[in-house]
Amino acid sequence: MNVADTEVVLSIMSGNSYGITDDAAKADVIFINTCSVRDNAEARVFQRLATLKQYKKQNPGVVIGVLGCMAERLRTELIDKRNLVDVVVGPDEYRRLPELVNDAFSGHKGIAVKLSRVENYDDILPLRTEGVGAWLSVMRGCDKFCTFCVVPFTRGRERSRKLASIVSEIERLSSLGYKEVTLLGQNVNSYHDGEFDFPDLMAAAAAVDRSMRIRFMTPHPQDISEKLIGMIAATPNVCSYIHLPIQSGSNRILKDMNRTYTLEQYLALTEKIRTMIPGVGLSTDIIAGFPGETEDDHRATIDALKRVRYDGAFMFKYSPRENTKAWDMGDDVPEEVKVRRLSEIIDVQNAIATEINAELVGATVEVLVEKISAKSDDEWMGRTDNNKFVVFAKDGAAIGDIVNVKIMKANSATLMGSIV
């Protein structure tokens, strides 16, 4: 979501005769786009700000801006306590950036952190970095109010772009040669533009170019309709992959989290998804050490992992966030207990993913070539339809190609093979 927002910011700035440099020492303006979802994300921004001091020293005229969720959350602290920061702009005020940066050049610090009920940057064409896949934000904000989550406070109420404007952006991406589009929203399947719902949007997106893959992130289990599952199953270029955050396997904790489903409902949903979409990839998010979490609750989460057998998971320690309901529940699981529970969760999940991936050794999978692999310049990295990461020797293939790869080796996160 932040990558997509950064592309909106780059588009707004370049429309006002700013250009992009990859050398921060030469920049007149430096923005940091921030995330508040967990404390370590915020800590990293403070570290990054400290390293920006050198640029201000070399070039006292440089304007430094903090954008995004932390801007909204920490506004005055960022300006008052950190002399370094000139502008602080929240996620709904990016249109004001050129004006605020101009004021900053003449010495006036600026804060713009109002949230909007309507801003969705519908008319702004994001300035994307070239590649195979494009992010496309289709709705903003979240009305779910999970008790641990700061997003409804930092990004405001849900609002959706018009289907027609999204479709015309996808047409443009197709003509530019993009091979994959990921429709984004904090709570993407509550998309509704007044006329069309999320399955309508996905169907329209997929119809633009049948050779283009369509993905989406992140849905809430409550809003996964049979219509959506049926549409994914029936549409070949909609990827068979769902990231479906469960957060906890304990009904008591799920209730305190305000997740609005029980474990039984969630498991029934995953069964329905697996029956209707054979071969579907499933991944999840887990929080360890939510307030009041007992060893029994923790074991229920581990059991849920074992029952669903996810292809992958993002696993986090609970991080208390001011303003949220969970903040008032106290952060009563001791740090060392959180660390231990998280590492147990990671161990169980990695073992499951390793087993699932090992079953693919010997199989041939279809892969969209995306980029050079992180480990070697001689290898490509790509993903299967159901979101398995695959690494293989280049062997004449080019970025953007669809190739068949025979899998020779696998670990918990990656399949390795060669083109056949």
Which spans of this chain sit near ligand SF4 (rule: CB under 6 A)? 142, 144-146, 149, 151-152, 186-187, 220
Does position 140 interact with ligand 5AD (CB under 6 A)? The reply is no
C-beta of 144 vs 252, nearer to ligand SF4: 144
**Using the rule CB under 6 A, which residue among 287, 305, 345, 369 binds ligand 5AD?**
287
Q: Choosing among ligand SF4, ligand 5AD, none, which partner's interface includes residue 227 (Cβ < 5 to 8 Å by kind)?
A: none
Residue 389 Cβ vs ligand 5AD, minimum distance, rounded to whole Å: 20
Residue 190 Cβ vs ligand 5AD, minimum distance, rounded to whole Å: 15
Please give the size of the binding site for ligand 5AD, defined by CB under 6 A: 12
Q: Is 76 exposed, middle or buried (0-12, 13-18, 19+ CB in 10 A)?
A: exposed
Instruction: Give residue number: closest CB to ligand 5AD.
Output: 285
Region of 400 please: left (phi>0), alpha (psi -120 to 50) or beta.
left
Within residues 309-328, the interface with ligand 5AD by CB under 6 A covers 316, 318-319, 321
C-beta of 206 vs 253, nearer to ligand SF4: 253
Residue 14 Cβ vs ligand 5AD, minimum distance, rounded to whole Å: 30
Does position 144 interact with ligand 5AD (CB under 6 A)? The reply is no
Q: Choosing among ligand SF4, ligand 5AD, none, which partner's interface includes residue 321 (Cβ < 5 to 8 Å by kind)?
A: ligand 5AD
Within residues 267-286, the interface with ligand 5AD by CB under 6 A covers 285
Does position 299 interact with ligand 5AD (CB under 6 A)? The reply is no
C-beta of 238 vs 313, nearer to ligand 5AD: 313
The CA distance from 181 to 211, in Å, is: 11
Residue 148 Cβ vs ligand SF4, minimum distance, rounded to whole Å: 7
Contact between 399 and 369 (Cβ < 8 Å):
yes
Q: Choosing among ligand SF4, ligand 5AD, none, which partner's interface includes residue 34 (Cβ < 5 to 8 Å by kind)?
A: none
Residue 11 Cβ vs ligand SF4, minimum distance, rounded to whole Å: 24
Give the contact letters, 228-267, x = binds to ligand 5AD (CB under 6 A), - = no.
-----------------x-x--------------------
Residue 185 Cβ vs ligand SF4, minimum distance, rounded to whole Å: 9
Within residues 325-384, the interface with ligand 5AD by CB under 6 A covers none
Residue 119 Cβ vs ligand SF4, minimum distance, rounded to whole Å: 17
Residue 247 Cβ vs ligand 5AD, minimum distance, rounded to whole Å: 6
Q: Choosing among ligand 5AD, ligand SF4, none, which partner's interface includes residue 144 (Cβ < 5 to 8 Å by kind)?
A: ligand SF4
C-beta of 144 vs 255, nearer to ligand SF4: 144
Q: Choosing among ligand SF4, ligand 5AD, none, which partner's interface includes residue 316 (Cβ < 5 to 8 Å by kind)?
A: ligand 5AD
C-beta of 46 vs 145, nearer to ligand SF4: 145
Q: Choosing among ligand 5AD, ligand SF4, none, which partner's interface includes residue 299 (Cβ < 5 to 8 Å by kind)?
A: none
Query: In which residue are the tokens 């692999």 written?
Result: 373
Residue 301 Cβ vs ligand SF4, minimum distance, rounded to whole Å: 16
The two tokens of residue 205 are 């997106």
Write 196-201 long-range contacts (CB < 8 A, 24+). Answer: 196/163, 197/225, 197/227, 198/223, 198/228, 199/225, 199/227, 199/228, 199/230, 199/231, 200/163, 201/138, 201/163, 201/166
Q: Identify which of 64, 92, 91 has the alpha carbon closest to the alpha carbon of residue 78.
A: 64
Does position 161 interact with ligand 5AD (CB under 6 A)? The reply is no
* Type of residue found at 94: Y
Residue 149 Cβ vs ligand 5AD, minimum distance, rounded to whole Å: 4
Residues engaged in binding ligand 5AD (CB under 6 A): 37-38, 148-149, 245, 247, 285, 287, 316, 318-319, 321
